[in-house]
Amino acid sequence: MSPIRRHASVPFPLNFGKPAMSAIRHALNTKREDDFAAWYQEVISAADMAEESGVRGCMVIKPWGYGIWERMQRLLDDRIKAAGVQNAYFPLFIPLANFTREAEHVDGFAKEMAVVTHHRLIADGKGGLVPDPEAKLEEPLVVRPTSETIIGDAMSRWIQSWRDLPLRLNQWANVVRWEMRTRMFLRTSEFLWQEGHTAHATEEEAKAETMRALEMYRAFAEEDVALPVIAGEKPENERFPGAVETWSIEAMMQDGKALQAGTSHYLGTNFAQAADIHYQNREGREELCHTVSWGMSTRMVGGLIMTHGDDDGLRVPPALAPFQVVILPMLRDKPEDAPLLAYCEELRAMIAGQGALGEPVRVLHDTRPGKAAAKRWDWVRKGAPVIIEVGGRDMENGAVSLLRRDALWDAETGKPAFQSPSREVAAQSVPTILADIQNGLLVEARERREAHIVRDIDTMEGLAAFFGEDRKYPGWVEVQWSKPTGAALEKVVEQLKALKLTLRNVPMHVPPADGTCIFTGDPAVERVFVARAY
């Protein structure tokens, strides 16, 4: 068996005469239920989103995958700017000394940093090149794993007075963390993200910013990615190195595992102290700033796949689809194609002239040579929300054949569930269909999540049974706990580790605790999610 099951290899799975549902000839070889990890990789390759690069842990993001990321960037950036945060850009290289200033931060990242030590290569005499020993850097440069320290440097220069506060910056950038084990989009050595960094006069303001960013991520995830999430505070052991509080949004994947999809950290004055970010207050006294950082990464693309993908490939929420509608003329490579192309072009213009989800509809008239049916399956695997095929007969009837990606199959026949509206009706209904798909994906994901959250387990035995070997994709458990700290928390973490479980977050807006702690037996003070995690 080869390392990666690439999609093109085996044309299609064979299906032996079974009626109805089971006769459906899915567009992927691997089903989610058979091997979720293999399915995930097949979606990425079949939807042409990304591929391995030959550099450890680094991927090439192909146009369809990158197009989805660009849409995420656009929509989140709009939200960031609407909140009054300004974009800026800081260097990729960070002086090593910056990292020695905040002790916990160093400990957290030291083991996974890429370091630049030379600035020149020299021939090794054997036809190769090696770093020139003469060109060794006086002080090594770290490739940023995150930019708190270098942005902190800038903040310390830019902030003098209480009038300079709050200072709220964001940058879109790549970062590098030398992870032991990588998975496309979910954990790559290099990844793309945005990181917001803000400085405030008071703890109160900084905490408000922390919560603002968290709420922004929740809204982005649910409204744009159609990804239902649970916002809450991370337990102490899951905190960002150097943070006072770490908050996250957590999403449930179709295999029941949790994915941290965005984080917001209240850093207290820890980084301000390390980078000397201080200001003169209204009374003329020097005060340290309270800083905050928040981030969302290309990991979100992985979350999208594992939430909305199905056995036919990806389903991209319309808000994020680079093309929301794809028109496929049934070409014959003959002169008679001309009127059909003109008919489709008119359809394209009708659709492009409309708005959906607050933007002009993004429609592609795919006129590449090739059979419409073959191209259709490509677009199904890529997850374009609406596919419209048009043949000569449609044209004669003034109609089109419309296929919704979220309702692909006719269960009766086991064939694609084409509708045949008139061209005008099809064009006019696109905005409604797109909005319906966007909402439908969110509802479907939320219902699936709620069906896989259990809240009535109050013993470790019960927890172990819930996540037992026979339970394939169990889900999450919300338990009550006494919020132990320090060594007592470590003990809990060890207990959970034995079951391959982690503490996710302490959800907001839930009823107060009213029972005993599942771990310690003490009176519980809050509720926390326990799950397997990516």
Partner RNA sequence: CGGGGAGUGGCGCAGCCUGGUAGCGCAUCUGUUUUGGGAACAGAGGGUCGCAGGUUCGAAUCCUGUCUCCCCGACCA
Pairwise CA distance, residues 418 & 364, whole Å: 19
Closest approach of RNA to the CB of residue 490, in Å: 11
Taken as a whole, the chain contains a residue count of 534
Element (H, E) at 245: strand 245-252
Element (H, E) at 129: strand 129-131
Closest approach of RNA to the CB of residue 241, in Å: 6
Other C-beta atoms within 10 Å of 474: how many?
A: 18
Cβ-contact 167, 215 below 8 angstroms: no
* Under rule CB under 7 A, residue 181 binds RNA: yes
Question: Which of residues 26 and 452 has its CB atom nearest to RNA in the complex?
Answer: 26
* Under rule CB under 7 A, residue 464 binds RNA: no
Binding mask 377-416 toward RNA (x if CB under 7 A, else -) reads x-----------xxxxxxxx----x---------------
Question: Which of residues 108 and 140 has its CB atom nearest to RNA in the complex?
Answer: 108
Question: Which of residues 88 and 373 has its CB atom nearest to RNA in the complex?
Answer: 373
Cβ-contact 183, 146 below 8 angstroms: no
Other C-beta atoms within 10 Å of 199: how many?
A: 31
Bridge partners for 266 per DSSP: 245, 292
Binds RNA (CB under 7 A): choice among 149, 198, 246, 505: 246
What DSSP character marks residue 164? Answer: G
State the pairing for strand pair 230-233/115-118. unpaired
Question: Which of residues 165 and 304 has its CB atom nearest to RNA in the complex?
Answer: 304
Closest approach of RNA to the CB of residue 426, in Å: 12
Question: Which of residues 435 and 464 has its CB atom nearest to RNA in the complex?
Answer: 464
Closest approach of RNA to the CB of residue 295, in Å: 4
Cβ-contact 289, 269 below 8 angstroms: yes
Q: Which of residues 320-379 bind RNA (CB under 7 A)?
A: 330, 332, 371-374, 376-377
Q: Which of residues 251-310 bind RNA (CB under 7 A)?
A: 260, 263, 295, 297
- Tokens representing residue 57 in the block: 């842990």
Cβ-contact 269, 294 below 8 angstroms: no
State the pairing for strand pair 325-329/258-266. unpaired
* Under rule CB under 7 A, residue 497 binds RNA: yes
Binding mask 14-43 toward RNA (x if CB under 7 A, else -) reads -----------xxx---------x---x--
Residues 6+ apart with CB under 8 A from 3: none
* Under rule CB under 7 A, residue 180 binds RNA: yes
Question: Which of residues 341 and 435 has its CB atom nearest to RNA in the complex?
Answer: 341
* Under rule CB under 7 A, residue 111 binds RNA: yes
Closest approach of RNA to the CB of residue 50, in Å: 11
Binds RNA (CB under 7 A): choice among 57, 232, 268, 302: 57
Q: What is the DSSP string of 37-84?
A: HHHHHHHHHHTT-EEE-SSTT-EEEPHHHHHHHHHHHHHHHHHHHHTT
For RNA, the binding residues (CB under 7 A) are 1-12, 25-27, 37, 41, 52, 54-58, 108, 111-112, 146, 175, 177, 179-184, 187, 193, 195, 234, 238-241, 246, 248, 260, 263, 295, 297, 330, 332, 371-374, 376-377, 389-396, 401, 418, 497, 500, 533
